[in-house]
Amino acid sequence: MSNSQSHLALVLANNISQGEPIVIVPKEEKQPTEEELRLQTPFAEVSKKYLQEIIKEKRMDTVRSYTSFVNIFCEWTEKQYPNLSSSMLSHALVAKFMDYVYNDRKGRKKESMSNRTYNNYIKNGSAFFSWMVEKCYCKENHFTKIKTKKKEDKTRILIPKETREKITKYLLSKSPNYLIMLKLVYNSLIRPKEIRNLYVSDISITKGQITVSSKSTLVS
């Protein structure tokens, strides 16, 4: 027992022996701050708020990428850490998740995840955690502590003529519209996103010309 505790005990004993009343005042509980309350928000709720916000601000291609990442991250955390709150997010948790997606995640192709995809996970995760830090749901962006992997050189192959002819024959009867899109990609080097934004007036059969607007690369 410390000196202060001994002194308090003597004072109480003296008061009791003299019949003096002892008034016990309950300790006033400290009210949590708004930031502390936010840190206790369920992670599933925070994830929903994030997706709702980026849908209003980002292009659809970006939204699809971010949504896919968040859904995979949430699915994993729900299994590993039920009732997870934002305050429980840590560097170790993020590192464990990245090990999972790189080595153990089921449901994807048998070959290992490419370094490019792995780095995209880090990019998407960093954007998510940066938002959480800004909104006071998390104190640190733990994805910035995960190192990216070395970029791989893209490997391209030429599709044999026989294979192209088989694809053309099959799609002519099964899905001619899809065949047109493939032809535009393969022969005209137009990206699928740009094809979706083409108008009939952009195509001139007589000139053998397709006009791709600079705005088509920006439209979601």
What is the DSSP annotation of 43-102? HHHHHHHHHHHHHHHS-HHHHHHHHHHHHHHHHHHHHHSTT-BGGG--HHHHHHHHHIII
What's the rounded mean pLDDT across residues 111-134?
Answer: 91
Mean pLDDT, residues 96-112 taken together: 76
Residue 114 phi, psi dihedral angles, 5° rounding: -75, 155
Q: What is the mean pLDDT of residues 116-137?
A: 95
Q: Residue type for 208, please?
A: G
Note whether 100 and 76 are within 8 A (CB). yes
pLDDT at 147 over 70: yes
Higher pLDDT, 8 or 100: 100
Q: Environment class of residue 121 by beta-carbon count within 10 Å: exposed (0-12), middle (13-18) or buried (19+)?
A: buried
> What percent of the chain has a predicted confidence (pLDDT) above 70?
81
* Residue 11, pLDDT score: 63
Mean pLDDT of 103-125: 80
- Give yes or no for residue 219 having a pLDDT over 50: no
CATH architecture of structural domain 38-145: Orthogonal Bundle (1.10)
pLDDT digits (tens, 9 = 90+) for 38-88: 999 999 999 999 999 988 888 877 888 899 999 999 999 999 999 899 989
pLDDT of residue 26: 62
- The first and second tokens of residue 158, run together, are 């030429």
- pLDDT value for 126: 96
The domain segmentation of the chain, as residue ranges, is: 38-145, 161-217
Mean pLDDT for all residues in the chain: 84
Question: Beta partners for 203?
Answer: 210
Q: Is the pLDDT of residue 220 over 50?
A: no
Q: Between residues 191 and 134, which one has the greater pLDDT?
A: 134
Is 148 a residue whose pLDDT tops 90?
yes
pLDDT on residue 28: 66
